[in-house]
Amino acid sequence: MMKEKVTAVVISQVEIAPSIFDMWIETSLAKEAKPGQFICVYPKNQSTLLPRPISICEVSEKKDALRIVYRIAGQGTAEFSKYKQGDSVVVLGTLGNGFPVEEAKGKKVFLMGGGIGIPPMLQLSKEIDADTQIIVGYRDNKLFLKEDLEKYGKVYIATEDGSVGTKGNVMDAIAANALSADAIFACGPMPMLRAIKRFAAEHKIPAYISLEEHMACGVGACLGCVVKTKEVDHHSHVHNARICTDGPVFEAEEVEI
């Protein structure tokens, strides 16, 4: 797996919803990037020690640029939001295992994203060879990436306030539209992933979930982002896995969440 620290150049950046920014960066890391992987972005502010892990939203057609869509959550991401075209940015990547797109071939699938877990679904929807149903959950009617996703599958929307689509969450949207699938690929907050794991177990279908977690090193050295698993991890010799290197994508039945 390609993993290196490089200096990228900002191509463009725009705020697409309150505190949510859409940035394209020119980087050689795009050549090997896979759906569900992420990069670590280093702030220039020296008082902000750790890089910020951000999911890959999209890869350019020429595979020379990456798109990241992120929410301002603290000092680091607030700094990133000020970057302009031509600015340099240091990134480490590509990191993580990504989604197993080959498991979807010829199947009827759900691609499910909640909140800032929606961006990874875009590149996945572009590459997956399946009957694709995209179920996404938002807080309100600020539907970032909706038009992008609609190019690659039928989109079903849930909003917490009921302003668009089904009132509630992604599971409510599945029920309201009487949807079914042979496999699930998902990224979002932990309550959503727990509900998806239960749904997948009840319907006896495989689910591949990308876990959102705070990370420190991003390369598996610090054990700061572990999840309990059925199997013993070869690195720590206990029942856990490192989300940054063993994940962030896991089979739902293999992790305890």
Quick one: 82 and 139 in the same domain?
no
Q: Print the SS3 string covering the chain.
A: CCCEEEEEEEEEEEEEECCEEEEEEECHHHHHCCCCCEEEEECCCCCCCCCEEEECCEECCCCCEEEEEEECCCHHHHHHCCCCCCCEEEEEEEECCCCCHHHHCCCEEEEEEEHHHCCHHHHHHHHCCCEEEEEEEECCCCCCCHHHHHCCCEEEEEECCCCCCEECCHHHHHHHCCCCCCEEEEEECHHHHHHHHHHHHHHCCCEEEEECCCCCCCCCCCCCCEEEECCCCCCCCCCEEECCCCCCEEEHHHEEC
Rg of the chain taking only CA atoms, in angstroms: 18
98 and 127 Cβ atoms separated by less than 8 Å: no
The verdict on residue 241 lying in a domain is no
Q: Which residues pair with 93 in a beta bridge?
A: 4
The verdict on residue 125 lying in a domain is yes
Quick one: 83 and 109 in the same domain?
no
Predicted TM-score of the model (pTM): 0.89
- The token pair that represents 29 in the structure block: 């890391």
The verdict on residue 217 lying in a domain is no
The verdict on residue 251 lying in a domain is no
Instruction: Give me the pLDDT at residue 245, please.
Output: 60
Nearest CA among 39, 28, 70 for reference residue 248:
39
Instruction: Give me the pLDDT at residue 30, please.
Output: 96
- CA 233, 236, 239, 241 dihedral sign is negative
Max CA separation in the chain (angstroms)? 51
Instruction: Give me the pLDDT at residue 84, please.
Output: 98
The verdict on residue 240 lying in a domain is no
Quick one: 114 and 46 in the same domain?
no
Instruction: Give me the pLDDT at residue 256, please.
Output: 78
Q: Of 212, 227, 250, at which residue does a domain stop? A: 212
Instruction: Give me the pLDDT at residue 85, please.
Output: 98
Query: Tens place of pLDDT for every residue, the chain, 257 residues?
Result: 558 999 999 999 999 999 999 999 999 999 999 999 999 999 998 777 788 999 999 999 999 999 999 999 999 999 999 999 999 999 999 999 999 999 999 999 999 999 999 999 999 999 999 999 999 999 999 999 999 999 999 999 999 999 999 999 999 999 999 999 999 999 999 999 999 999 999 999 999 999 865 554 455 554 455 555 656 555 555 556 655 566 689 898 888 77
The verdict on residue 245 lying in a domain is no
- Asked, as a colleague might, if the bond just before 248 is cis with ω within 30 of 0, I would say yes
- The token pair that represents 120 in the structure block: 């990874």
Instruction: Give me the pLDDT at residue 211, please.
Output: 85
The verdict on residue 236 lying in a domain is no
Split into its structural domains, the chain has a count of 2
Quick one: 113 and 200 in the same domain?
yes
Which CATH number do you get for residue 27?
Answer: 2.40.30.10
Quick one: 80 and 63 in the same domain?
yes
Which CATH number do you get for residue 111?
Answer: 3.40.50.80
Quick one: 175 and 147 in the same domain?
yes
- The token pair that represents 63 in the structure block: 């595979």
Residue 135 structural domain: 101-212
Distance between CA 136 and CA 149 in Å, rounded?
10
